[in-house]
């Protein structure tokens, strides 16, 4: 297992387009998290899954954002009608349980032009 994998690593899109990112967590990790990191800032929590259930969503996650984790394995994060303010690094993390270490992927850098 090579860790948390995120694809694509970079995405450039025009304003108004939809984009989808994928995260493959470490095998058997039942918890999966999405964070957003803007330039010069720390990561901000977006949403969290335990297995296939989405249990928490940040107020940062507007109606244009949707995340899924079918079958409790990989997860996708979709942004509809992208805006320039969506430009950021989107990070995925997974963990085995509540009090265990969260392992982060390298992130997907989104640029909206």
Partner 1 sequence: GNSVTQMEGPVTLSEEAFLTINCTYTATGYPSLFWYVQYPGEGLQLLLKATKADDKGSNKGFEATYRKETTSFHLEKGSVQVSDSAVYFCALKNAGNMLTFGGGTRLMVKP
37 backbone dihedrals φ, ψ, rounded to 5°: -130, 115
- Judged by beta carbon, residue 74 or residue 103, the one nearer partner 1 is 103
- The minimum distance between CB 85 and partner 1, in angstroms, equals 18
Pairwise CA distance, residues 1 & 38, whole Å: 29
59 backbone dihedrals φ, ψ, rounded to 5°: -65, -15
Using the rule CB under 8 A, give the single segment among 17-25, 60-68, 72-80, 93-101 that binds partner 1.
93-101
Residue 24 structure tokens: 């493959």
C-alpha 81, offset from chain centre: 17
Question: Which residue from 21, 33, 65, 90 is in contact with partner 1, where contact means CB under 8 A?
Answer: 33
What is the binding site for partner 1 (CB under 8 A)?
3-4, 31, 33, 35, 40-45, 48, 55-56, 58, 91, 93, 98-99, 101-107
């Amino acid at each position: 297992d090579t860790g948390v994998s995120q694809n694509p690593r970079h995405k450039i899109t025009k304003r108004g387009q939809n984009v989808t990112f994928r995260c493959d967590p470490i095998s058997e990790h039942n918890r999966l998290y999405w964070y957003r990191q803007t330039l010069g800032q720390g990561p901000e929590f977006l949403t969290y899954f335990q297995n296939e259930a989405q249990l928490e969503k940040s107020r940062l996650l507007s109606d244009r954002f949707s995340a899924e984790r079918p079958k409790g394995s990989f997860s996708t994060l979709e942004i509809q009608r992208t805006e320039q303010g969506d430009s950021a690094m989107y990070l995925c993390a997974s963990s085995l349980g509540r009090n265990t270490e969260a392992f982060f992927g390298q992130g997907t850098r989104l640029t909206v032009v």
